[in-house]
Amino acid sequence: MVLVTSTCLDEAILKDVHIVKHSVEHHVKVILNKYKVQEKENFKKWLIKAVTLIDLTTLSGDDTRSNVTRLCVKAAKPLQEHGNKIKTAAVCVYPNRVYDAYETLKHMKLNNEINIASVATGFPSGLYPLCSRLQEISFAISKGANEIDVVLDRSLVLGGKWDMLYNEVLEMRNACGKAHLKVILGVGELGTYENVYMASMVSMLAGADFIKTSTGKEAVNATLPVGLVMCRAIQDYYQMKGRKVGLKPAGGIKTARDAVNWLVLVKSQLGDEWLTPKLFRIGASSLLGVIEKELES
């Protein structure tokens, strides 16, 4: 649990944030060209690493107990040829399906090895009263979730209401207790890279353990330029506060190359220390199947 003692946001931290869009996008291309993984065997090693960082997700309106059970079984043994040695970092479900995941993993004696994440706080819009959003966090935790993926009210970002945003995230942090707090920015709806940076910084100052790109429901989700901006915010926050915050891209990561590119980006900007489940996750539902096929080829 992260203890945040200040109930006031120092908005001076958010002054003079200027990000050149062309420069960010060019830098991403430079990084990928410099670190591009070409060799087939080495590429496969990166993919196996990626599997261990996945939050295996199902967030469909027709989710059932059996769907979640299958998800947990797959998370426990995602790659057949590696037996029980490889597991995904977490499963991620709706609050009403958390207990299904908890019971399944407990029965498999894996509830201490695979995290249970739940989306909460009016997913995917976040446009619900704060009291009900906080109740949703408490409900998910009571059913067995140890990670909560909350959704920012993007209207607060777009309106520049940073102090209100800070206080909302702070209340979510407190509601999470010992559970890890992942804050979903909804980057595709924030408008500018400056907003992405400032929303990242406010979330971390309020106690986020991870900052996450997207719900996966927006028209534009995780992109590498946005990832670079978020990495820079994580760097700046670490230099300022001495606390390491994780990154979770989610939505739009569909190919094996996409997954490896995200690992390359994080390695180049934050270092190998961030390439662990404690500090990096990939939110995905179909990616695992794509990686399996790539590894079999």
By annotation, the residues acting in catalysis are: 149, 212, 248
Bridge-based pairing of strands 90-93 and 54-57 is: parallel
What Rg value do the Cα atoms of the chain yield, rounded?
18
**Do 215 and 184 touch, CB atoms closer than 8 A?**
yes
Sheet holding 282-284, edge to edge: 246-248, 210-212, 180-184, 147-151, 115-120, 90-93, 54-57, 282-284
| CA–CA distance, 198 with 237 (Å, rounded to integer) | 11
Please tell me the number of Cα atoms within 13 Å of 161 on its side-chain side. 12
**Is-cis flag, bond preceding 124, omega within 30?**
yes
Residues 6+ apart with CB under 8 A from 100: 65, 68, 69, 93
In this structure, what token pair is assigned to residue 161? 């209401």
| CA–CA distance, 24 with 124 (Å, rounded to integer) | 27
| CA–CA distance, 104 with 86 (Å, rounded to integer) | 18
- H or E element, residue 289: helix 287-296
Amino acid residing at 229? V
Amino acid residing at 222? A
Q: Name the maximum alpha-carbon separation found in the chain.
A: 54
